[in-house]
Amino acid sequence: MYEQKYPNDASDFSSMVLSAKDERPDVVVGTTYVPDAVGLTRELNRQGVRPRLLAFSIGVVEPEFQKALGPLADGVIGNTLWWPSLKRTGNRQFVTAYEARYGGMPTYQVASGYAAMQLLEQAVASAHSLDQRKLRDTIATMRADTVTGAFRLDENGRQVGYKSYLMQWQGGKAKLVWPPKVAEAPLRLPYR
């Protein structure tokens, strides 16, 4: 096992990948945004590191990840809280309206922002007020279905309703691959 941290603005991953290469990893997992996910994927491939599974957080779901890497993106796994094909309250209508207005598919950040507004709308209607404390107290006990799933907070205010999903780039397209019940395609391994 190999664990390495790097600064948020890192752009050279050569020495880190070289150190990891000696471990001959079967799995490489990173918590990343788009720039470092792209940089790490490029460097792993440049140095011939061939894990069976390559997964990064956040950055992988962005269209910019695939645009930057082309075929090197295929097989990389990422996580998301939202996907256009999920059967959730209002999701189909949200996707259709977004495509009609903006000419493309919404990202999970757009869906999350939309869900936040769905929650606020319901909280205002329930609290009959715009008072911040009343809204906070209302939201703390709300149970709501949104385009990003079931909104539920525990007694400490932590989100416990939303679920995470895995996606994978396959043939230049982003596909939902886990859990199997909602997958658009089976998970493909190995990465390379």
Task: Give 100-123 pLDDT, tens digit per residue.
Answer: 999 999 998 999 999 999 999 999
Let me know if residue 53 belongs to a domain: yes
Q: What CATH number did the domain enclosing 76 receive?
A: 3.40.50.2300
Q: Is the pLDDT of residue 2 over 90?
A: no
Mark whether 169 and 145 lie in a shared domain.
no
Let me know if residue 173 belongs to a domain: yes
Q: Is the pLDDT of residue 1 over 80?
A: no
CA distances from 81 to 22, 23, 58 (A): 34, 32, 10
Mark whether 20 and 68 lie in a shared domain.
yes
Q: How confident is the model at residue 71 (pLDDT cuts 50, 70, 90)?
A: very high
pLDDT 10s digits, 15-37: 999 998 988 999 999 999 999 99
Query: What share of the chain has pLDDT > 70, as a percent?
Result: 100
pTM for this structure? Answer: 0.89
Mark whether 76 and 108 lie in a shared domain.
no
| Rounded to 5°, angle at Cα 103 from 110 and 109 | 10
Mark whether 74 and 28 lie in a shared domain.
yes
CB 20 within 8 A of CB 47: no
Let me know if residue 77 belongs to a domain: yes
Q: Is the pLDDT of residue 192 over 80?
A: no
* Mean pLDDT, the chain, integer: 94
Beta bridge partners of 140: none
Mark whether 74 and 97 lie in a shared domain.
no
Count the domains in the chain: 2
Let me know if residue 9 belongs to a domain: no
Let me know if residue 110 belongs to a domain: yes
pLDDT 10s digits, 41-52: 999 999 999 999
Let me know if residue 7 belongs to a domain: no
- The packing angle between helices 14-21 and 34-46, to 10°, is 50
Mark whether 125 and 75 lie in a shared domain.
no
Torsion of CA 28, 81, 99, 113, to 10 degrees: -120
Q: Which domain holds residue 40?
A: 14-81+164-178
CA distances from 70 to 65, 165, 188 (A): 8, 23, 17
Which letter, b or e, does each residue of 153-178 get, where b requires 16 or more Cβ atoms within 10 Å of its Cβ?
eeeeeeeebeeebbbbbbeeebbbbb
Let me know if residue 144 belongs to a domain: yes
Let me know if residue 145 belongs to a domain: yes
Range 72-83 average pLDDT: 96
Say what the pLDDT of residue 9 is. 87
Range 73-88 average pLDDT: 96
